[in-house]
Structure 1
Amino acid sequence: MKDLDQAPLDLATMRSAVRRLLAEDAEPPSFDELETLTLQLRGHVMLLIPDVEKAAGRLPEDAVPRACALACIGESRMRLNLEPGHGLPAGIAHAQRLARSVNALCDHHENLGGKPA
């Protein structure tokens, strides 16, 4: 059960940040924009993990969707602990991995009963 003062997740905004880095026609961000995007994506992951974890916890322990969601959470937490390499290309690759985690967590959020974007 969500806290009464917690607003619902804005999956549309989260998916918009993902598209900024993962869309086929995405332009590479500048260094300053990359820093902002990376912080935004990290925040999205941190907001999504507890909701997805709570939703997965309501499923039976042997449920495949639960196992998939928990695996995604584990990988997302690991990505939060990684530091980008040096230079713009390494930073973009790091942000793209975070974007994939956000996208997957949004999918799990929706599949486990959250509202779609």
Structure 2
Amino acid sequence: MSATARNVSGAAAVDLAAMRETAVLVLGSEARSHALPPTPMGLDAVTESLRKHLERLVVEVELKAARMPKDSVARYCAIACVGEAQRKLSAGPSPRFGGDIGHARRLARVLRALCEHYESAADTP
């Protein structure tokens, strides 16, 4: 567990609904596979929101994963998703992979995955 994860314990509750709503802005709903891209200024704001949500949720999922049994498949998957989120946060937009909107969509997809790991870990003591 990182030092950041240890320092955040006791933080305010995670707002999964707001996180998922932000992801919907660039991905569309579960029923609709694609959303219309926001305007460039709107895309910057959405991308920044996605980044903030990810930074917060990475810490929370890491904390929950640390409380899971060491040999748990769910723990392994949660930790792998945290690593993927950290890689996506450190990467920037690339013209080869869809530019700014492609980057925002990659952030939104990993945010959705982390939300799922956060919820599934809720039953862990």
Q: Provide the residue aligned with 2:9 in structure 1.
A: 2
Deviations along 1:3-53, one digit per CA (max 9) or x if unpaired, are 2xx321111000001111111351111110110011000000000011101
Which region of structure 1 is more displaced relative to structure 2, 21-30 or 35-44? 21-30
In 1, Cα distance between equivalents of 2:59 and 2:37: 31
Q: Superposition pairs for residues 18-97 of structure 1, below 5 Å?
A: 18-23=23-28, 24=32, 26-85=35-94, 89-97=98-106
1:107 matched residue in structure 2:
116
Greater CA drift, 24-33 or 104-113 = 24-33
Query: Post-superposition, which runs of at least 4 consecutive aligned residues in structure 1 deviate over 2 A?
Result: none
Within 1, Cα distance between the matches of 2:17 and 2:68? 25
Aligned residues: 111
- TM-score, normalisation: structure 1: 0.88
* Aligned residue number for residue 17 of structure 2: 12
Q: Give the TM-score of the pair, scaled to structure 2.
A: 0.83
Unaligned 5+ residue runs, structure 1?
Answer: none
**Letter aligned with residue 53 of structure 1:** E
